[in-house]
A and B are shown apart, each in its own frame.
Chain A
Amino acid sequence: MLFTSYEFLGFLLVVFIMYYLLPGRAQWSFLLLASYAFYFMADPRYLIFIAITTASTFLAARAISDKKASFDAWFKEHKKEMEKDERKAAKAKAHSLEKKIFLCCLLFNLGILAVTKYTNFTISNINSVLGAFGKEGTLSFVNLIIPMGISFYTFQSMGYLIDVYNGKVEAQRNPFKFALFVSFFPQLVQGPISRYSDLSQTLFEEHRFNWQTVSFGLERILWGYFKKVVIADRILTSVQTIIADPDTYNGWYAFAGAMFYALELYADFTGGIDITIGVAETMGIKVTENFIRPYFSKNIKEYWNRWHITMGTWFTDYIFYPISASQFMMKLSKKSRARLGNNLGKRVPVYLSSFIVWFTTGIWHGASWNFIVWGLGNFVVIMISQELEPFYRWFHSKVNVAGTFGWRLFQVIRTVLIMSSLRMFDCYRDVPLTFKMFGSIFTKASLSQLNVQSFINMGLTVADYTVVFIAMLILVIVSLIQRSGSVRGKIATLAAPVRFVIWYGLLIGTIVFGAYGIGYSASQFIYNQF
């Protein structure tokens, strides 16, 4: 059930009405039912996968929590009787069992994710290696189903497990409440990857109908649909045409394709998240924000703090920090400092950890070398950016441009260009072609190559491009206003007729100028496939 389908809107309406008709204490149970119904409608087989992840994580977390609690109680009682070494040994013994449970559950669930998503990718690579030795197509591909949103709900569940293991959160005692945390339908298909400590605060609470909350939620949903159907799904046609025919569309067109895709991806993903957050908000549930105007970032590091925030922090908290602080890295740090000197040596473990994080980030996005190279591309750009820090400092000491509008604009444009170039790996069928198309921007782009008719031949009319341009301007204006606080909050202070004109104008604009229905290909949200 696509977010942009009538079925979803109908489903939402029924859930919303029922949610507020039910007594408060039954609301979360109803949401669980609705979430499983939502997943069931996508494919009944998916339920087996999510149920297995839910049950295994719930049981493991509870076992870890119980072990911790019983050990703490025992330890409290007996610690005075023990020597320091004995205390340490007792702690290590108890921790060892917790660790075993934790690792079993972690590997089991990541194993499910790996098998469903990466088996054919692995087979393809093995075949390529065997092919290099003259053995063509040795292993055949397997037909596995990839449950919708598996990357998101697995990461969300594992985040919870790690937090319980680290003692950051108490394990949930109610299996159904935990099942709701894993399967909460608005965020099931494309995130955000919520933390248990954040989402659980409002997910299980009773919520009475509150007009302001509901209207804010509806406004957010509408804004999400505007981005998705007016911008993303309309520019999609040009993006697809450019990607499908690299022989024709290279040079400036490859550049245009990269820009169009950057716009499409932003409008698509942030639109989807707006719908997710808006749906939750109408029911009084607060879902973590996932974007803070990322294309306004001054550098790539900042960009990643503002784009897909919940994924970024997940990788930082659950992969980067544990790896950086691991005994192996400590030893590596020591050795590299001894061999390469303090300045260079201290960077080795950081960069190695960072490399692992970006490799994982890449492969999390999809089972293909394109995503892996895209992830590593980000790593390289960030690394270069960090290495150039002294140069930037020197430059700013000589040229006084920092803080000026022109410099800030340059930084923003630079970020957009770099990120859009890296995103070309999302588009083209393989890594060599992506490099070729990127190279063509510099080798084949000439002004004589550009003509309006070529853009029209991509499947959009001048009117379509005009709509996309105007909608993009609205997007930029809203983002600029947003820097000084909630736009919905500001609109709420305006006179009722003005508010009506704004929101109703947006509704009519979305209905009339949206690319949906017959004549437009029904487009999934891009992040649904991750």
Chain B
Amino acid sequence: MQKKLKVVVAVIVTLAIVITTLFLATKLLEPKYMSGILEGAMIQEYYDDPTDHNVVFIGDCELYENITPVYLWEKYGINSYVRGSAQQLIWQSYYLAEETIEREHPDVIVFNVLSMKYNEPQKEAYNRMTLDGMKWSHSKVDSIKASMTDEESFIDYVFPLLRYHGRWSDLNSDDFKYMFKRDKVSFNGYYVRVDVKPAEDVPGGNPMVDYQFGDNAYHYLDKLTKLCKDNGVELVLVKAPTLYPYWYDEWEEQIVDYANKNDLTYINFLELQDEIGIDWNTDTYDGGLHLNLAGAEKLSKYFGKILVEDFKVPDRRSDKKLQSYWKGVNERYHQEIARQRSNLEKYGSVHEPEENQ
């Protein structure tokens, strides 16, 4: 009996050591995205927000760099979140929407339609930035399956150590510092930039062989539409007012047709840029690809009004819990703006010199 007990204890201790060391190795070797490429940490931050959102923006950088939920809160009292990630593909947006609706059931989901141009999985690095941060659920599993490129394996998502084992030679102080904690890198999903790089010589669109959006992209747009309708969530399609990547007239026609056929609201902010008041000399930080803080606040001001007036999104500024939550976000937001402005003055860049290395 005592021998059996010894064996059981030995097995338990062995398993505990194995699991712990594998866990620690995974934690150490996983990319942290705490400096440099911050976009990889954004999807995960959503789960830190305990509030229920009335509006959730889902899509690529045309949302997370162009819409600022802090401004929407301050100006309109809209409680919103941007579930954005770099080169987020439409099936990833769909599964994020599915997960969001299961978690909190927002009134409005805003989807940026630029990702309709992708019909197939693209790059593993971008997949990782969207998928690694998601909590495990059937939505995550389906999203991984839909997103994997030929070189990827599902098991690498289940055991990230198998994917990131090769980082042992690239480890830096961040990897140790952020093994068990994270800093916040976004402001309810918004990636803030205060610098300015005017849009000059923006390239036009090269002629394409085929302008038709792919079947797979439409399949997921259909699913997204159905998901929102079945759950009583208003789906709003938008095209951000950025000059590049080029948005073709043929693409515009297809989205307009789709929105009409499915009774959806579609807003092309590119066509409304004068009305919004975007000045491409001052409102972009990278020559027209993305808006800076000034541009994002102009767009948020314009869009917020639509959300309040047309979609009756409520003003929740009197909600004590939300007040407390947003106070914290607001403080960080203004600290970050101040930090970036100070860096701009000191170094000519929003980043500290070591961040640029």
Contacts and interface: CB of A to CB of B under 8 A. Distances in A.
Interface of A: 6, 461, 463-464, 496, 500, 504, 508, 511-515, 517-520
B165 A517 contact: yes
Given A6-B155, A504-B18, A512-B168, A517 B161 contact: no
For B25, B161, B162, B163, which residue has the most chain A Cβ atoms within 10 angstroms?
A: B162
Contacts of B165: 511-514, 517
Contacts, number: 41
A500 to B, nearest CB: 6
Interface string B148-161: 00011101100001
7 contacts: A6-B155, A461-B169, A464-B169, A512-B161, A514-B165, A517-B153, A518-B156
Contacts of A464: 169
B14 A517 contact: no
B169 A463 contact: yes
A6 B168 contact: no
B10 interface: yes
Given A6-B153, A6-B155, A461-B169, A511 B21 contact: no
B167 to A, nearest CB: 9
B124 A518 contact: yes
A517 B156 contact: yes
Contacts of B166: 515, 517, 519-520
B346 to A, nearest CB: 34
Contacts of A461: 169
B18 A518 contact: no
Contact of B14 (A500, A508, A519): A500
Contacts of B25: 508, 511-512
A521 to B, nearest CB: 10
A448 to B, nearest CB: 29
B303 to A, nearest CB: 38
B4 to A, nearest CB: 15
Q: Which 7 A-B pairs have the closest CB atoms?
A: A463-B169, A512-B165, A6-B155, A6-B153, A518-B151, A512-B168, A519-B166
Contacts of A463: 168-169
Nearest to B155: A6
A518 B160 CA distance: 12
Interface in B4-41: 10, 14, 17-18, 21-22, 25, 29
For A496, A511, A514, A517, which residue has the most chain B Cβ atoms within 10 angstroms?
A: A517
A159 to B, nearest CB: 38
A463 B171 CA distance: 12
Contacts of A519: 166
- Interface size bucket, B side? 20 to 34
A6 B159 CA distance: 12
Nearest to A496: B10
B162 A513 contact: no
A500 B166 CA distance: 24
Given A464-B169, A513-B168, A518 B14 contact: no
Given A464-B169, A504-B18, A518-B156, 4 more contacts: A6-B153, A504-B21, A515-B166, A517-B165
Nearest to A513: B168
Contacts of B18: 504
Interface in B163-212: 163, 165-166, 168-169
Nearest to A462: B169
Interface in B115-130: 124
Contacts of B151: 518
Contacts of B124: 518
A503 to B, nearest CB: 11
A520 B162 CA distance: 12
Nearest to A512: B165
B160 to A, nearest CB: 11
Contact of A517 (B10, B17, B21, B162): B162
Nearest to B169: A463
A163 to B, nearest CB: 43
Nearest to B28: A512
Nearest to B124: A518
A288 to B, nearest CB: 33
A136 B51 CA distance: 77
Contacts of A508: 21-22, 25
Nearest to B10: A496
B281 to A, nearest CB: 41
Interface in B100-159: 124, 151-153, 155-156
A520 B156 CA distance: 14
A511 B162 CA distance: 7
B77 to A, nearest CB: 45
B9 to A, nearest CB: 12
Contacts of A517: 153, 156, 162-163, 165-166
A460 to B, nearest CB: 10
A520 B10 CA distance: 37
A496 B10 CA distance: 9
B169 A518 contact: no
B168 A518 contact: no
B169 A511 contact: no
Given A464-B169, A500-B14, A513-B168, A518 B163 contact: yes
Contacts of B17: 500, 504
Contacts of B153: 6, 517
A511 B163 CA distance: 10
A514 B124 CA distance: 20
Contacts of A496: 10
A514 B162 CA distance: 10
Nearest to B156: A517
Contacts of A513: 165, 168
For B29, B124, B153, which residue has the most chain A Cβ atoms within 10 angstroms?
A: B153
B128 to A, nearest CB: 10
Contact of A518 (B10, B152, B161): B152
A464 B170 CA distance: 11
Interface in B282-333: none
A14 to B, nearest CB: 15
A229 B156 CA distance: 17
B141 to A, nearest CB: 17
A464 B166 CA distance: 10
B12 to A, nearest CB: 13
A508 B20 CA distance: 12
Contacts of A512: 25, 29, 161, 165, 168
Nearest to A520: B166
A511 B164 CA distance: 10
